[in-house]
Amino acid sequence: MWIIKDCCGFTCMIVSYFFIFAVDFSVCMLEYLAVPGSYCINVTLFNFLVLMIVWSHLKASFTNPGTIPRGYTQLDQDKLPLRLVYVLERISTQSKSGSENAGAGIPTPKRLLVHRRQFSRNTH
């Protein structure tokens, strides 16, 4: 089991679960008072969704998210977006040249946005 021991995180988790179960209780009571005939189906479905919310949050909280090993350099470029492959190729060719202005040609976020707009126009 993987967990970071953080008082603020545990407090937020407890408050969140309090609100989730308070809403669950109030929805169940309102369903029972409003429509007694369909109470069982609606409440069962709602409680199943609440259970899924709590389960997925607990699983995300207590499992290791995974890490990239130190020294890992291989990327599968077939699975990367085309824009990212383009930027990575430009960075790698400029860093291999070894010139003083190697970082001058690296696209800034504004230039990447322009490239993204041009790319999206060409693909449609």
Does some domain include residue 57? yes
Quote the pLDDT of residue 16: 92
* pLDDT for 52: 95
**pLDDT given at position 102:** 46
pLDDT, mean of each 10-residue run, the chain (124 residues): 78 92 90 78 89 91 75 69 78 65 51 50 52
Cβ–Cβ under 8 Å, residues 82 and 119: yes
Residue environment code for 36-47, b if the CB has 16+ CB neighbours within 10 A, otherwise e: eeeeeeebeeee
Same domain, 56 and 19: yes
pLDDT of residue 15: 94
User: 110 lies in which domain range?
Assistant: 82-123
**Structural contact between residues 24 and 47, judged by C-beta atoms closer than 8 angstroms:** yes
Q: Are residues 14 and 54 in the same domain?
A: yes
Q: What is the predicted pLDDT for the residue at 123? A: 52
Listed in sequence order, the DSSP H helices in the chain are: 7-34, 39-62, 82-97, 109-123
Query: Do 45 and 88 reside in the same domain of the chain?
Result: no
107 domain residue, yes or no: yes
Question: How many domains are there within the chain?
Answer: 2
pLDDT of residue 47: 92
In the chain, the amino acid numbered 121 is: R
Q: What is the pLDDT of residue 9?
A: 84
Looking at the whole model, is its pTM more than 0.95? no
Same domain, 14 and 58: yes
